[in-house]
Chains A and B, each alone.
Chain A
Amino acid sequence: MSEENNSKIEEMEIIISNFLRIGVVLSATIVFIGLLMFLVSGNSGYSGDYFPTTPTEIFNGVLLLKPYAIILLGLIILILTPVFRVGVSILVFVKEKDFLYVKITSFVFLILIVSFILGKVE
C-alpha cells in the first residue's frame, strides 16, 4: 500500500513539475523576445509611456507585433501558470482516484475563479 502510494505521488510530482516548466519556459521566452525587440528597436509599439492593460488590447497589440504587448502576453502566461497548476492537479488527483484531494483542490480552484471575478467587478 505504502509503496503504491509513493509511486503514485512520484508520478503526480513529475506531471506537476513538468507542467510548471512548460509554463515558465513559454512565458520567459515570450517576455525575452518582447524585451529584446523593445531594447533593440527602442520602440514599445505605443506612444510615450503608455502600455495596454486589458487582455483584448494586449492581444490586438500582439497581432501587430508590438513589443510591450508581447511582453505582457508572456507575463499573463506567467500569472496564469499557478492557476492552471491547480487545475492540472485536480486532473492528476482524479486519475489517481484520490477523491478527498479532488475535492480539496477543486475547492481551491473555485475560490481562485471567484477571486478573479471579484477582481474584475472591483
Chain B
Amino acid sequence: MITVDKDKCTGCKVCVRSCPFAVITIVDGKAEIGEGCTLCGVCVKVCPEGAITITRDRKAKVNLEDYKGVWVIAEYNEGNVRNVTLELLGKGRELADKLNEELAVVVLGHEIKDKAKELAKYGPDKIYIAENKYLAQYTTDAYADIISGAIVKYKPSIVLFGATPNGRDLAPRISARLRVGLTADCTGFDIDEDGNLVQTRPAFGGNIMAKIISPYTRPQMATARPNVFKKPEPKEKEAEIIEIPSKILPISIRTKVLETVKVGEQAEVSIEEADVIVCGGRGVKSPENLKILQELAETLGGTIGGSRPIVDAGWLPQHKQVGQSGKTVAPKLYIAAGISGAIQHIVGMRTSDTIISINTDPEAPIHEIADLAIVGDLFKIIPELTKQLKQVIAERSK
C-alpha cells in the first residue's frame, strides 16, 4: 500500500513530476496517488518531506524454502545451441553459487541427448532432458506442457529463458499457468539479502532502468536479453543427466507449423545475437549499395541491419530492423552507416558495447552517442575500411 501523509505533504509537485506512470495529481493542495500506481517507489525517493510511504504486507502462498536451484531453459537453432543459452549458463552459475544451490540446464528436443550432454562443459551440475519427436520443432503448447510439468515436479527457485522470439512466446505462457512472476528482457541479475532474484531491465524505451523482484511466488522467472552476459569458457566437467517426463499427445498441440521460411542470407546469425552489426540507414541511398555494408559485416564476422526507413522501403526484411518497431540489439560493435539517429532508432541500439557512426552530417544525433564518430562519406570510407581490414587480417594469419 502507498500512503501520503497529508500533514507532511506541502503540495510541492516534485512527486507529480517524477512519477514514471503519471498517476499522481494534486488535489486540494495535497498529493493524491491515482490508478496505475505500480509501487515503484520513485515518489518516495524524491519527496523532500518524506510524506510518502509504501508498505508491503503480502505473504507467500507457497513455502519458498521448498524451491531450490537455478534453471536455464536451453534453446537450439537448427541443432546448434544458441549463444544466449550459454550466456545464461555463465550468469546462472554465478547466481547458483551465491545461493549455494545447483545450476541446471533444461533441454527439449528430438534425438538431442548427445548435444545436450555437451553443455556440461559450460558449468551446469545437472542436465534435464526431454526427448520426443513432437519436441523436434518448437510449439508453445508442447514446450509449455513439458516445462511446466518439470517445474512442478522438481521445484527450481529460478528459471531463466533467452529473450528470443520463442523464449518470449513460451515464458509468459508458463508464468500464467503457474501464476508466478515473470520479468521480460532483463539485462542484469543479482541475489538480494533475502535470497530473491533481483532482475534489472530497461523500460520506457531505455530511458529508465527498473529493478524487479518476485518475492512471494516460486519459481522466479525471467527472460534475458541476448549478448548482455558473458559466455563462459568451456571446461571439462561432469553433469548429472536426468530424463524428465516427456509424454505428449499430438492433440494437445493446438498450433501446427506448416512451414519454416528463411528470408535473406542463409548462414547468418540473428541480429539479436550477432557480435558485430553493420547497420544502414537512409544515407545508403539504394538497395544495391547495401553490398558494401554486407561486405564489411562479413569481414568483421557480423551481420547487416537496417533502420526503419530502409526496411519500410523493402531493402531489407523486417527481422533486420533495429529500433523501437524492430529489434533491440546490444552487439559488441555497432557500426551505423548513413543513419541520422532518430530517437526511435537509438532506443534499439544504445546499449551496444561500442558504437561507430559514419555520416556526412556533422550534426547527426547518432554522432552524439557514438564512441567514434566519423563525419564523412560512407561510400568512400566503408570500401576502404573493408580493404584495409582484410589486409590486417591477412597479415595476422601469416
Are both chains from one complex?
Answer: no
